[in-house]
Amino acid sequence: MVGEIVYRAEGGIAQIKIDRPDKKNALTASMYAALTDAIRAAEAEPAVRVIVILGSEGAFTAGNDLQEFLQDPPTGLDRPVYRFMAALAGAEKVVVAGVSGLAVGIGTTLLLHCDLVVAGDTARFSLPFVTLGLVPEFASSLLLPQLIGRQLTGKHLLLAEPFDAGKALAYGVVSEVVAAAQVEAVTMEWAARIAAKAPRAVIETKRLLKPEPLQIARRIAAEAATFSAQLESKEGKEALGAFVEKRAPQFGA
Ligand code: COA
């Protein structure tokens, strides 16, 4: 696995850590491939009962690496990001995420596919796709309205307003808010509690709680087609280029 994804399995818990703090844990294709390998390894290891996903203090992840979006746009369901999200969304074992600091783009989206989320009180969530000339992904256009309704979703997907940990808790995007310094400890403690329970009952309960998989898969494919088209579009390239060049985008008429 690449150094920026750290995998450790111990005491029935597989811990997957995103560790690229100098770039706010922005995710590259090789990191998605390593995340996929990590989830598959955890799923395949009988001793592992629970999967934990953590970032660094101050940054869960700043989302997809925007430079890579420009240089090697992930268009196509066989790309590492899609394989990672398929592995996460399809995981049989319980996934608990611990979010400290920023969770941008896929950083917030992936939480909608986790079973429990612990957030630090300074965590900040955002889905800035329209700002970047992009559209929602991985069924967030379905799952977020199901949680909070279409009008509130509009604030975060059309206005691209970030939201704080308190709102994330009220929305049901996270399960609990704790002091930022306690995120990893609480996440690991929850994972240990679940790892000690009846394994088959846990897996079956997770399966029963999950949204309809076919509906999710259909939405992911529909979003992916539009996402890919936007990545290749003039406005998408302008928005992403503006971020990389640290300037305001010009969308014109
Ligand atoms: N892709 C690539 N690089 C990123 C990145 C991303 N998504 N997010 C942050 N970085 C890089 C910055 O370019 C910077 O690199 P540099 O030191 O070589 O210039 C470094 O990480 C630190 O980021 P910086 O912007 O200086 O930190 P900040 O605390 O001022 O702001 C963010 C943090 C996350 C708010 C800001 O970096 C940001 O808006 N990033 C883009 C988030 C985004 O839109 N993600 C994609 C969603 S689809």
Domains parsed from the chain with CATH numbers: 5-179 (3.90.226.10)
Q: What is the pLDDT of residues 113-144, one digit of tens each?
A: 999 999 999 999 999 999 999 999 999 999 99
Q: What is the pLDDT of residues 188-200, one digit of tens each?
A: 999 999 999 999 9
The three-state (H, E, C) secondary structure of 64-76, written as one string: ECHHHHHHCCCCC
What's the pLDDT score for residue 1?
56
Q: What is the pLDDT of residues 3-49, one digit of tens each?
A: 799 999 999 999 999 999 999 999 999 999 999 999 999 999 999 99
> Which one of 18, 22, 23, 24 would you pick to mutate in the ligand 1 pocket, going by the greatest count of ligand atoms within 8 A of its CB?
24
Specify the residue with its C-alpha closest to ligand 1, atom 38.
62
Read off the tokens for 239: 């928005």
- φ, ψ at 51 (rounded to 5°): -110, 130
What's the pLDDT score for residue 52?
98
**Helices 213-232, 80-90: crossing angle, 10 deg rounding:** 160
Q: Which residues contact 144 (CB under 8 A, 6 or more apart)?
A: 112, 127, 136, 153, 156, 157, 173
Query: pTM of the prediction?
Result: 0.96
Q: Does residue 2 have a pLDDT over 70? A: no
Strands 163-164 and 124-126, how do they pair?
antiparallel
Specify the residue with its C-alpha closest to ligand 1, atom 48.
105
Q: Does residue 223 have a pLDDT over 90? A: yes
